[in-house]
Structure 1
Amino acid sequence: MKDDDWINAAEACCLLGVRAQTLYAYASRKLVRAVADPADARRSLYRRMDVDALATRQGRSRKLADVAVAAIAWGEPVLQSAITTVRDGRFYYRGLDAVELSEGVTLEGVASILIGADLTKLRRVVPLPLPTGATLNERLFQTLAIRTAEAPMARGATVSALAEEAGQLLNLVADAIVGESGHRPIHLRLAKAWGVERANPACDVIRRILVLLADHELNASTFAARVTASTGASLAAALLSGLAALSGPRHGGMGKEVRNLLEDSEKSGPSATVALRLADGGTLPGFGHPLYPQGDIRADAVLGRIDIPDALRQIKEVAWDQAGLAPNIDFALTAAGIACGLPSDAPFALFAAARSAGWLAHAIEQNASGQLIRPRARYIRP
Structure 2
Amino acid sequence: MRTDYLSAQDAAARLGVSLATLYAYVSRGRIDSRPGPDGRTREYSAGDVEQLIERKQAGRGAAQGAAHSLAWGLPVLETRISLIRPHGHYYRGESAIALAKSGATLEETARLLWDCGSHDPFAAELSHPWPAAIALLLHQAEVPPLERTVAALPLLALNAAHAHSIDPFHRRHDAALLLRETAALLCATQPSAQPIHHVMAASWRKDEMGLSQLVRCALVLCADHELNASSFATRVAASTGASLHAAVCAGLATLSGPHHGGAAARAHAFIQEMLRERKPVDRLRERLRRGEALPGFGHPLYPEGDPRAAVLLEALQATRPRPAKLSAIERLIEAVQAQCGRRPNLDFALASIASAYELGADVALAIFAAGRMAGWLAHSLEQQESGSLIRPRASYVGRAPQREE
TM-score by length of 2: 0.85
Structure 2 equivalent of residue 29 of structure 1? 28
Distance 1:264 1:202, change over 3 A: closer
User: Counterpart of 1:364?
Assistant: 381
Distance 2:220 2:345 in 1: 16
- The question of whether the paired residues in 2 share the 8 Å contact of 1:119 and 1:163 is answered with yes
Deviation at 1:376, TM superposition (A): 2.3
Query: CA–CA distance in 2 between the matches of 1:45 and 1:311?
Result: 79
Q: Distance in 1 between matches of 2:334 and 2:354?
A: 19
- Deviation string, structure 1 residues 88-116 (Cα, Å, up to 9, x no partner): 43211111110000121001110111112
In 1, Cα distance between equivalents of 2:248 and 2:34: 62
- The residue number in structure 2 matching 1:224 is 233
Q: Extract unaligned runs of 5+ from structure 2.
A: 318-324, 400-405
User: How much identity, in percent, do the aligned residues show?
Assistant: 39
In structure 2, the CA distance between the partners of 1:226 and 1:44, relative to structure 1 (3 Å rule), is same
Residues 61-140 of structure 1 mapped to structure 2, 5 A cutoff: 61-103=59-101, 104-117=103-116, 118-129=120-131, 130=135, 131-134=138-141, 135=143, 136-140=145-149
Q: Match of 1:179, as an amino acid?
A: A
Structure 1 residue 17: Cα displacement = 2.3
> Which of the numbers 330, 343, 349 marks the counterpart of 1:313?
330
Paired residue type of 1:110: T
Q: 3-state DSSP class of the match of 1:46?
A: strand
Counterpart AA for 1:301: V
**1:321 aligns to what SS in structure 2?**
helix
Tell me if 1:205 matches 2:214: yes
Paired position in structure 2 for 1:49: 47
Distance in 2 (CA, whole Å) between partners of 1:290 and 1:120 is 35
Q: Which residue of 2 aligns with 1:332?
A: 349
Unaligned runs of 5+ in 1: none
Question: CA 1:13/1:312 → structure 2, altered by over 3 Å: closer, same or farther?
Answer: farther
Structure 2 residue corresponding to 1:168, chosen from 174, 177, 180: 177
Given the superposition, is the C-alpha separation of residues 92 and 14 from structure 1 closer, same or farther in structure 2, using an over 3 Å criterion? same
- Tell me, yes or no, if the aligned pair for 1:215 and 1:358 is still in contact at 8 Å: yes
1:126-182, Cα deviation, whole Å (9 max, x unpaired) = 132432133423432332131134436744431111111111111111221232223
Give, as a single letter, the amino acid of the residue that structure 1 aligns with 2:380: A
Counterpart CA distance in 1 for 2:394 and 2:160 is 32
Closer, same or farther: CA 313–8 of 1 in aligned 2, 3 Å: farther
Distance 1:16 1:150, change over 3 A: farther
Task: Give matches, 1:243-262, under 5 Å.
Answer: 243-262=252-271
Q: TM (normalized to structure 1)?
A: 0.89
Measure, in 2, the Cα distance between the counterparts of 1:371 and 1:154: 19
Are the equivalent residues in 2 in contact too, given 1:337–1:346 (CA < 8 A)? yes
Letter of the structure 2 residue corresponding to residue 34 of structure 1: S
Choose 316-325 or 88-97, whichever is displaced more. Answer: 316-325
Match of 1:147 among 156, 165, 171: 156
| Corresponding residue to 2:297 among 287, 295, 308 | 287
* 2:234 partner amino acid: A
Amino acid at match of 1:168: L
Note if contact 2:146-2:252 (Cα within 8 Å) is conserved in structure 1: no
Distance in 2, matches of 1:357 and 1:221, equals: 12
Give the conservation status (yes or no) of the 8 Å contact 1:274–1:319. Answer: no
> CA contact under 8 A between 1:154 and 1:367: conserved in structure 2?
no
User: In the TM superposition, what whole-angstrom CA distance separates every residue of 1:240-290 from its partner, at most 9, and x where no partner exists?
Assistant: 221111111111111221133234444473454355357546x53212212
Deviation at 1:86, TM superposition (A): 0.8
Q: How does 1:226-241 map to 2 (within 5 A)?
A: 226-241=235-250
Query: CA separation of 1:284/1:11 partners in 2, compared to 1, >3 Å: closer, same or farther?
Result: farther
Task: Tell me the distance in 1 between the aligned counterparts of 2:289 and 2:237.
Answer: 36
Q: 1: distance between equivalents of 2:24 and 2:147? A: 59
Question: Do 2:162 and 2:174's aligned partners in 1 also have CA atoms closer than 8 Å?
Answer: no
Correspondence for 2:394: 377
Range moving further from structure 2, 5-14 or 63-72: 5-14
Letter of the structure 1 residue corresponding to residue 49 of structure 2:
V
RMSD: 2.5
Count of aligned pairs between the two proteins:
378
* One-letter code aligned to 2:309: A
| CA contact 2:122–2:177 (8 Å) conserved in 1 | no
Mapped partners of 1:377, 1:54: distance in 2: 22
Contact 1:154-1:233 within 8 A present in 2 as well: no
Aligned residue identity for 1:79: L
1:303 maps onto 2:301 in alignment? no
